[in-house]
Amino acid sequence: MRAGIDLGEVAWTPEHFPDQQRFVVAICRQASDRAGDAGVAADLARLAELALHHGREHVVVGRRWRWLGPRPAHLPPSRNPSDSRLLRDP
């Protein structure tokens, strides 16, 4: 099984799209060049081409994410709903 990346899920922003696009294309090409597996290298090269042709018109700003598991661990404790400190009275 191989993992996939959906370019529509990248956190693109309209005002920075050209720079973000160049960055994604560059890192995909670099990773492809350094991949130790021909299949992975081909997949990354194809992803670079897809990113190169990904249009700014496909950028969606303000989309809400739907979490498939527990809330992310990087939330500060005061905002983490699973933090037991939220249940205490001050």
- Note the pLDDT tens digit of each residue in 2-42: 667 788 778 888 889 999 999 999 999 999 999 999 999 99
Give 90: exposed, middle or buried? Use CB within 10 Å, 0-12, 13-18, 19+: exposed
Burial of 78 (0-12, 13-18, 19+ CB in 10 A): exposed
Please state whether the predicted TM-score (pTM) of the whole model is above 0.75.
no
**Confidence at residue 72, expressed as pLDDT on a 0 to 100 scale:** 52
Quick one: pLDDT band at residue 65, thresholds 50, 70, 90? low
State both tokens at 50.
């897809």
Per the prediction, the chain carries an average pLDDT of: 76
